[in-house]
């Protein structure tokens, strides 16, 4: 089959699509996770918690597909990344999966029995189901930025050489906190827009605090990355059209290497800037009670914050700290030319359709959580 797009171009497109899927996950499922984290703090009675849960009730299921699609797309487009990351982060991934298993059943089961203990168990399940993924994804990004200890054998079998607790280093934990603060900000913006007083007022205060915390922690991470963090750079000739085999290049480790893309591409500092300014403006909009604007600003901040490490690392996707030459990059960790092309066709056809009906569903469900769904015979969680 003739493929009308060059391999190197397709690889950049798929690198960008991986980023778009991650951003889609963070923006859409992010407010679900944030709302779940806020559940014990904003909902003081059973009815208030029901309102919070029902604010995301009709949409969380579709939102979660961004995560599932992110997994599927990295499997299809970046198989070595999928293989090395999930087996390397085995225990972290196991905890994440437990959290994500808890969510669907907690949503569905909570309202089905009228018992305080029963409901409190599922409330905590939702809280953990929101907090654990938010924290772990941030920690994972923190580790990606530092490099992950893995190597390949001669048959390209990825072997992880680190331990679980190694993942919990100070910089990674800082990234985890950025992620939690960011999603709490985003969740608070959503809750503020979908509920009425007194919940909306509590969400507003929580949102203001979370925006400022996000701003400070993200800036702190940037300062650390600029001054102390080792980055990676390819030192051999780059063969952007070569077959995907990560063992055929040399890589150096240098402090500040992650900043080089920001000098090379003058537009790219827009990402961290968006992260910072978005969080700042979100705080302002929370204060001004501008519900829609606060949500848009927190979403913008999320986009900027997720895009920042991605742009800094390009073309690296998963650097190896124990054997830098084995690092996985956009040029040597992709699927074949044909697979990338076929998958691109699928994305070009289906992603606009998905976005269109998702938009329609949100339109149908617009407005604050209506009260009549809580009456007998209504359809609420």
Contacts of 184 (CB under 8 A, 6+ apart): 34, 37, 38, 206, 207, 210
Query: Which of 177, 203, 311, 347 is the binder for other proteins (CB under 8 A)?
Result: 347
375 binds other proteins (CB under 8 A): yes
Closer to other proteins by Cβ: residue 248 or 260: 248
Closer to other proteins by Cβ: residue 53 or 213: 53
Burial of 103: CB neighbours in 10 Å, binned 0-12, 13-18, 19+? buried
154 binds other proteins (CB under 8 A): yes
Closer to other proteins by Cβ: residue 104 or 256: 104
Query: Which of 5, 6, 9, 113 is the binder for other proteins (CB under 8 A)?
Result: 113
Residue 101: CB minimum distance to other proteins, A? 4
What pairing do the DSSP bridges indicate for beta strands 158-160 and 150-152? antiparallel
Closer to other proteins by Cβ: residue 198 or 256: 198
134 binds other proteins (CB under 8 A): no
* Piece in contact with other proteins (CB under 8 A), picked from 33-41, 179-187, 300-308, 361-369: 361-369
Residue 154: CB minimum distance to other proteins, A? 5
> Restricting to residues 29-58, which ones interact with other proteins according to CB under 8 A?
45, 47-48, 51, 57-58
How many binding residues for other proteins (CB under 8 A)? 89
Closer to other proteins by Cβ: residue 184 or 193: 193
Q: For residues 346 and 32, is the Cβ–Cβ distance under 8 A?
A: no
373 binds other proteins (CB under 8 A): yes
Contacts of 150 (CB under 8 A, 6+ apart): 84, 88, 158, 159, 160, 161, 162, 320, 322, 323, 326
Closer to other proteins by Cβ: residue 101 or 273: 101
344 binds other proteins (CB under 8 A): no
Q: For residues 193 and 41, is the Cβ–Cβ distance under 8 A?
A: no
What are 109's two structure tokens? Answer: 């089961």
**Closest Cα to residue 306, out of 85, 24, 88, 14?**
24
DSSP, collapsed to helix, strand or coil, labels residue 159 as: strand
User: Phi first, then psi: what are they for 350, rounded to 5°?
Assistant: -90, -30
Q: What are the helix (H) ranges across 195-336? A: 199-227, 260-264, 270-287, 291-313
**Closest Cα to residue 204, out of 38, 60, 40?**
38
Residue 349: CB minimum distance to other proteins, A? 8
Closer to other proteins by Cβ: residue 191 or 274: 191
Alpha carbons 276 and 166: distance in angstroms, whole number? 29
158 binds other proteins (CB under 8 A): yes
Closer to other proteins by Cβ: residue 59 or 306: 59
Query: Which of 15, 31, 60, 286 is the binder for other proteins (CB under 8 A)?
Result: 60
166 binds other proteins (CB under 8 A): no
256 binds other proteins (CB under 8 A): no
Q: For residues 42 and 142, is the Cβ–Cβ distance under 8 A?
A: no
Closer to other proteins by Cβ: residue 159 or 238: 159
* Piece in contact with other proteins (CB under 8 A), picked from 89-97, 211-219, 226-234, 316-324: 89-97
Q: Identify the residue whose tokens are 């914050």.
A: 305
289 binds other proteins (CB under 8 A): no
Q: What are the helix (H) ranges across 59-169? A: 60-77, 79-88, 90-110, 116-146
109 binds other proteins (CB under 8 A): yes
> Restricting to residues 67-86, which ones interact with other proteins according to CB under 8 A?
68-69, 71-73, 75-77, 79-80, 82-86
> Restricting to residues 194-253, which ones interact with other proteins according to CB under 8 A?
194-196, 198, 243-245
Q: What distances in angstroms separate CA 94 from CA 21, 60, 322, 340, one per listed residue?
A: 21, 21, 23, 29
């Amino acid at each position: 089959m003739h493929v009308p797009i060059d391999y190197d171009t397709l690889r950049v497109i798929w690198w960008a699509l991986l980023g778009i899927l991650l951003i889609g996950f963070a923006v859409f499922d992010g407010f679900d996770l944030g709302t779940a984290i806020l559940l014990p703090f904003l909902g003081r009675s059973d009815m208030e918690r029901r309102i919070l849960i029902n604010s995301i009730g009709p949409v969380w299921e579709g939102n979660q597909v961004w995560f599932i699609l992110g997994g599927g797309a990295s499997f299809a487009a970046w198989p070595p990344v999928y293989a090395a990351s999930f087996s390397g982060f085995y225990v972290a991934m196991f905890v994440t999966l437990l959290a994500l298993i808890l969510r669907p059943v907690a949503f569905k089961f909570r309202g089905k029995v009228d018992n305080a203990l029963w409901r409190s168990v599922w409330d905590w399940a939702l809280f953990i189901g929101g907090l654990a993924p938010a924290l772990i994804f941030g920690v994972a990004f923190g580790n990606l930025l530092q490099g992950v200890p893995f190597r390949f054998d001669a048959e390209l079998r990825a072997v992880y050489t680190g331990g679980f607790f190694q993942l919990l280093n100070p910089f990674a934990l800082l990234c985890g906190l950025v992620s939690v603060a960011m999603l709490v900000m985003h969740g608070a913006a959503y809750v503020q827009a979908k509920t009425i007083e007194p919940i909306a007022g509590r969400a507003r205060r929580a949102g203001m605090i979370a925006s400022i915390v996000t701003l400070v922690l993200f800036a702190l991470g940037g300062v650390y990355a600029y001054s102390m963090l080792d980055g990676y750079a390819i030192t051999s000739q780059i063969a952007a059209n070569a077959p995907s085999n990560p063992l055929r290049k040399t890589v150096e480790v240098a402090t500040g290497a992650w900043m080089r893309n920001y000098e090379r591409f003058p537009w790219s500092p827009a990402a961290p800037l968006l992260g910072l300014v978005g969080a700042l403006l979100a705080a302002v909009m929370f204060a001004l009670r501008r519900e829609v604007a606060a949500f848009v600003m927190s979403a913008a901040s999320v986009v900027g914050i997720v895009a920042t490490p991605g742009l800094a690392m390009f073309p690296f996707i998963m650097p190896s700290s124990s054997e830098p030459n084995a690092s996985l990059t956009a040029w040597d960790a992709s699927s074949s030319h044909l697979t990338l092309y076929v998958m691109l066709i699928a994305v070009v056809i289906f992603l606009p359709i998905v976005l269109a009906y998702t938009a329609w569903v949100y339109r149908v469900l617009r407005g604050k959580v209506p009260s009549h769904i809580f009456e007998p015979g209504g359809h609420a969680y």
